[in-house]
Chain A
């Protein structure tokens, strides 16, 4: 089992090497990064000026880009939504193979604040680990320091660590046959 991060748009500002190391550290899995060319045009909602993340997940699952014995997460800067919600930072197939994370609302500039690239890197890392956690079957954690804690604001993301709490690690071991040991 390994994880692939698929850089789909405007990820150049991020240190993808560091990102892979952090994700590997969280799940103790091989993590690789590659650029992926994907057309998200069909998922664009002209009324909302946002991209439907659920449809993007379907695109990914049907694209043949996910290799056997792997999980793939798209890294993009698109503004994502699911139809009933105003926005999402990312989405994942719970206990599945595909996920997406967006840096769109992780930029400080989005909130009228000065650019902060290290902070963007950290937030993106946490969001990627969070969504990947869902693909491993993890649900939201009550521990606000755990990366699996639900975040609806960037401030929530800033509060938590880029790692799983002991309880989530234990659950992951149970879910995934002691793989972490």
Chain B
């Protein structure tokens, strides 16, 4: 950025001071203006923007101290530098306490003047950069992955925005594939911690001994193979959030450690003695019946209460079927970009199949189904035939009527598809013998597609 983009206002009742500084800053390439008193300065600040104001502390009428306050009222981002004589350094100190950036004593050392201005400009540049980076992060952390307009998901959005602004521990509950991690990330992204990391820990995927080291880190030589000191997830999440997925899987021993960290916000690395303090927000998720685990003594009650401060229940997809078209289109667009495949719509018949299916694997299953359809299908649309086999056969055939015979036909087809047309297994599940099943297949003209 050129100096010309920065404006400096010189406020001094002495003409020679105004002229000298005007010329000095002009030669440095700044946009400069001068004012001989407070009233003129305030007028000029209202009609143009300045980045720095050099204000003489002693002026007739409103003095520099009072002017500074008024200038800041008009433009908070304005940096004020007080010009003072040696005799009034006390006043300059008062000005600093009132928010002035610095003060210079008359006559000003040219080098000091250059340094002050350069420092202010550099600080302003950093501030601008910082704002730009924050905006970029905000952009990157827009959570368009949580899709839907159903009343159930709207309630979830409300809960996320309510709890995000606090530091409360959150427990996210829901079936597998309902998007618990996305909700955790959304909470983090909308919190004041968003410029720090969110560290996910999948408690179900790591064995107990490793999990301890993963969480708290270890010192060199803490165990065989620990050749270096290593930071744990808690340390990595300092300032940000830590997300425990499958918290219900944590062993009883680790539950004690976790409880201690959550209460004291400090821990020691495995094999270490140094106490490490961390500032971490905890978000947990589980698909287990954690209350039952508490009752059975498998999950500590005190840890349960510590974690279960604010709970968000994620509805299974079958309970918010109205969101399925939007979700399916969302995944179609996403995979279309990833695969660079120009698929732009989902055939109404295919959408009907998607909406009618119960999605036991929830959104994850839906995403997989759409991804598969994108792989096997031909642009520009996803057709019913492109959807996974079981979806079409179970949902693709609508009962022609509500007659027992029609429902029987659909049910037999569903079981046959479910067991990959294994006649013996299907007959066993249907509780009929194989011959009867063959007869039914012939009668209903069922075919293995």
Contact = CB atoms under 8 A, between A and B. Distances in A.
Nearest to A81: B107
Contact of A85 (B28, B29, B108): B108
A82 B111 CA distance: 14
Contact of B28 (A48, A140, A153): A140
A84 B108 contact: yes
Indicate the size class of the contact surface on chain B.
Answer: 20 to 34
B20 A94 contact: no
Contacts of A134: 27
B263 interface: no
Contacts of A48: 107
Interface string A65-96: 00000000000000001111111100100100
A140 B109 CA distance: 18
B28 A139 contact: yes
B17 A84 contact: yes
A62 B27 CA distance: 23
Indicate the size class of the contact surface on chain A.
Answer: 10 to 19
Nearest to B28: A140
Given A82-B20, A85-B24, A140 B108 contact: no
Nearest to A140: B28
Interface string B69-91: 00000000000000100000000
Contact of B16 (A84, A150, A153): A84
Contact of B110 (A54, A87, A139): A87
Nearest to B2: A142
Interface string A147-162: 0001011000000000
Interface in B14-62: 14, 16-17, 19-21, 23-24, 26-29
Contacts of B83: 84
Interface in B104-128: 106-111, 113-114
Contacts of A82: 20, 23-24
B29 A86 contact: no
Contacts, number: 55
Contacts of A83: 14, 16-17, 20, 107
Contacts of B110: 85-88, 152
A46 to B, nearest CB: 15
A87 B110 CA distance: 7
Given A85-B108, A85-B113, A86-B107, A140 B29 contact: yes
A162 to B, nearest CB: 19
Contact of B20 (A54, A139, A152): A54
Most A Cβ at <10 Å: residue of B29, B109, B110, B111: B110
A84 B16 CA distance: 8
Contacts of A91: 23
Nearest to B114: A152
Contact of B23 (A86, A94, A150, A152): A94
Contacts of B111: 152-153
A86 B20 contact: no
B179 to A, nearest CB: 51
Contacts of A139: 26-29
Interface in A110-125: none
Interface string B186-206: 000000000000000000000
Given A84-B106, A84-B107, A152-B110, 19 more contacts: A48-B107, A54-B19, A54-B20, A82-B24, A83-B17, A84-B16, A84-B20, A84-B21, A84-B83, A85-B24, A87-B110, A88-B110, A91-B23, A94-B26, A139-B26, A139-B27, A140-B29, A150-B28, A152-B114
